[in-house]
């Protein structure tokens, strides 16, 4: 157990059991290492892989039903997930699970309109632009004053983009529609046929390649004309989004069977309308923006369900992003509560209304109490959380972010992060990426999938974005990305096979290096490198593209002990192409 360690006192701890020296009876609490050491003793060494796991981990768990409790009183399942994995060691977490996903599993890759299309003012889109057109042309808003005027020029490169999709062997391609390209002033007063024609060409090319489209209605590029009347702060946006969705369902719906209403409304609300670091650069209005986003999703969902689903045969839902969080000290109740709040203020903010008809109780209670405590005039901050939002339970397309944050309580004046009341940190041993907010933590991926299953009644889940960035010199031998996809997809397999998560698809972010919002082109997530020094903007495969294609071909990770598998052999042409371009790329990187 933890004890008195000479000159270091109690500051250094070697124990298999934690001792709480603040309590007079000095309780002993077993650490994860105690459980693992006990297993070693029990097995007189290192047993087979199956025996290292608890019995419950090696069998499927029956799906939970959606809770019958009244809206917003549904208890959080976070503690169940922490308990489920608390005895796992690093060795167990990293252990590879061989197996494959079910037949019909969806394999995809993703992009978004502003990030890849370019043609910012072409064919009727200008002069009615989007909020990101304006934001990126505003000094000091985007790294190195980059913008999406040309981006990857996908507007003019449909055939090239579909060709690289075919190389990846994906079954699905997720992209978004530019609202201002189709409805330049944001309303259906004028429908830009040239804009619709681009999406028809893309959809037809995908069909010819036997690739199913996953189409996002809104991926952050709001028409500037609508921002001039308040954007998502204005409730009229609910109606405008309904009208926009109606146009797309009616004009594109016969070619689309997989719709996503909104991409990551948390980012729109918090970064766009809360902290102002993303377009449109508004500060302190995230709650009302989020409320209107949720209602807009509900209206579009019901529109499709009522008017189009029967004749078009598609599915529709929303992409919600989230981190996974754990208490910094799992034996300290304040930290446990902080981690629960973190998740409810993140994923629960948008998922709870969809599955339970209202905001999480902790959000409503905390925001209301803190508003009154600091100033009665700030009551308006929480009024939007007083409504009950009635929605139908829908299949949920879950876009998962990649970070994992131990949490502890925090109290300061009123803002969103202070309302949440948590401070976060991360383990310095976690592998970094090209983005300050993104660490490689595959074990958190499995945990949040399990949380979704337990918290929301095991809904169908599609991972709609998952990927890793890099900065600096270009290296097509992107070992870190290859490692990332292997580890994260394997954790997804564990979630499905061992935890019983109803996981139906996985989508990598992103198809190619593109405009990464406020980071411009400084951060690169692509499976394909886009050579911006060449006016033709060629798409050049990185090593990770070949590995992802092989995982898709194998439909997972077949056990090599069972014999050779053809799907594990990368295509020779990929290697040849890489050898030709590597010398050329060396001159572009900065050291």
As annotated, the active-site residues are: 465
Report which of 89, 74, 57, 50 is spatially closest to residue 450, judged by C-alpha positions.
Answer: 57
Cα(291)–Cα(288) distance, integer angstroms:
5
Cβ neighbours of 368 (radius 10 Å): 17
> Which of 371, 220, 189 is closest to 293 using CA atoms?
220
Q: With contact defined as beta carbons under 8 Å apart, do 1 and 17 qualify?
A: yes
Q: In angstroms, rounded to a whole number, what is the distance separating the alpha carbons of residues 246 and 188?
A: 9
- Identify the three-state secondary structure at position 262: strand
DSSP 190-247: S--HHHHHHHHHHHHHHHHTT-EEEEEEESS--BHHHHTTTGGGSTHHHHHHHHHHHH
Q: What's the gap between Cα 13 and its chain centre? A: 37
Alpha helices by DSSP H, listed for 53-168, are 78-85, 90-94, 113-116, 131-136, 158-168
Strand partners, 406: 326
Rounded to whole angstroms, the Cα distance separating 111 from 489 reads: 19
Helix (H) or strand (E) holding 448: helix 442-456
SS3 528: strand
CA 139, CA 141: separation in Å to the nearest integer?
6
- Contact in structure between 443 and 93 (CB atoms under 8 Å): yes
Nearest alpha carbon to residue 326 among 487, 503, 85: 85
Give the span between the Cα atoms of 548 and 554, in whole angstroms.
10
For helices 286-303 and 236-252, angle between their N-to-C axes, nearest 10 degrees? 40
- Give the DSSP H or E segment for 292: helix 286-303
Helix (H) or strand (E) holding 50: helix 49-52
Evaluate whether 174 touches 464 at the Cβ level (below 8 Å). Answer: yes
Helix (H, G, I), strand (E, B) or coil at 579: helix
Q: Nearest Cα to 86, choosing from 490, 333, 447?
A: 447
Determine contact, residues 217/248, Cβ cutoff 8 Å. yes
Number of neighbouring beta carbons within 10 Å of residue 345: 24
Residue 365: C-alpha distances to residues 312, 361, 450 (Å)? 42, 6, 26
d(CA 382, CA 385): 5
The phi and psi torsions of 326 (rounded to 5 degrees) equal -135, 155
Q: How far apart are CA 308 and CA 314, in angstroms?
A: 8
């Amino acid at each position: 157990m933890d004890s008195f360690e000479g000159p270091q006192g109690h500051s250094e701890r070697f124990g298999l059991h934690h001792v709480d020296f603040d309590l007079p009876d000095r309780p002993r609490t077993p650490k994860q290492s105690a459980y693992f050491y006990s297993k070693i003793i029990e097995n007189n060494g290192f047993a087979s892989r199956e025996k290292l796991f608890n019995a419950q981990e090696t069998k499927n768990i029956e799906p939970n039903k959606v809770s019958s409790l009244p809206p917003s009183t549904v208890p959080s399942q976070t503690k169940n997930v922490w308990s489920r994995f608390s005895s796992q060691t690093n060795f167990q977490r990293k252990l590879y699970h061989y197996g494959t996903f079910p037949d019909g599993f969806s394999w995809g890759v993703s992009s978004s309109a502003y990030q890849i299309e370019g043609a910012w003012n072409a064919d009727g889109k200008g002069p009615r632009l989007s909020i990101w057109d304006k934001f990126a042309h505003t000094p000091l808003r985007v790294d190195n004053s980059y913008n999406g005027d040309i981006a990857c020029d996908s507007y003019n490169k449909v055939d090239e983009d579909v060709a690289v999709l075919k190389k990846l062997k994906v079954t699905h391609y997720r992209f978004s529609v530019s609202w201002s390209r189709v409805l330049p002033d944001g309303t259906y007063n004028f429908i830009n046929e040239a804009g619709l024609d681009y999406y028809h060409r893309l959809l037809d090319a995908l069909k010819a390649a036997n690739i199913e489209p996953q189409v996002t209605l809104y991926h952050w590029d709001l028409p500037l004309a609508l921002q001039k009347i308040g954007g998502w702060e204005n409730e009229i946006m609910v109606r405008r989004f309904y009208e926009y969705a109606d146009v797309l369902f009616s004009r594109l719906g016969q070619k689309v069977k997989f719709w996503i209403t909104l991409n990551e409304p948390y980012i729109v609300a918090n970064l766009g309308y809360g902290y102002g670091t993303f377009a449109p650069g508004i500060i302190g209005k995230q709650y009302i923006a989020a409320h209107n986003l949720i209602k807009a999703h509900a209206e579009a969902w019901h529109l499709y369900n009522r008017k189009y689903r029967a004749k078009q045969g598609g599915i529709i839902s929303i992409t919600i992003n989230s981190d996974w969080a754990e208490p910094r000290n799992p034996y300290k109740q304040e930290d446990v509560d902080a981690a629960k709040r973190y998740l409810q203020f993140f994923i629960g903010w948008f998922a709870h209304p969809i599955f339970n008809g209202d905001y999480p109780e902790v959000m409503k209670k905390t925001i209301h109490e803190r508003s009154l405590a600091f100033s009665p005039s700030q009551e308006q901050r929480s009024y939007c959380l007083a409504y009950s939002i009635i929605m139908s339970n829908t299949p949920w397309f879950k876009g998962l972010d990649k970070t994992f944050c131990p949490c502890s309580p925090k109290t300061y004046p009123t803002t969103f992060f202070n309302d949440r009341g948590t401070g976060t940190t991360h383990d310095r041993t976690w592998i970094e990426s090209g983005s300050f907010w993104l660490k490689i933590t595959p074990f958190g991926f499995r945990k949040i999938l399990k949380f979704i299953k337990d918290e929301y009644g095991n809904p169908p889940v599609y991972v709609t974005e998952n990927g890793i960035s890099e900065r600096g010199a270009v290296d097509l031998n992107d070992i870190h990305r290859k490692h990332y996809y292997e580890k994260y997809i394997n954790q997804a397999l564990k979630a499905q096979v061992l935890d019983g998560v109803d996981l139906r698809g996985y989508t990598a972010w992103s198809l190619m290096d593109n405009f990464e919002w406020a980071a411009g082109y400084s951060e690169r997530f692509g499976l394909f490198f886009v050579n911006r020094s060449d006016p033709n903007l060629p798409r050049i495969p990185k090593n990770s593209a070949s590995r992802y294609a092989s995982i898709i071909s194998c439909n997972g990770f077949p056990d090599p002990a069972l014999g050779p598998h053809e799907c594990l052999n990368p295509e020779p042409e990929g290697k040849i192409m890489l050898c030709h371009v590597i010398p050329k790329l060396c001159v572009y990187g900065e050291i």
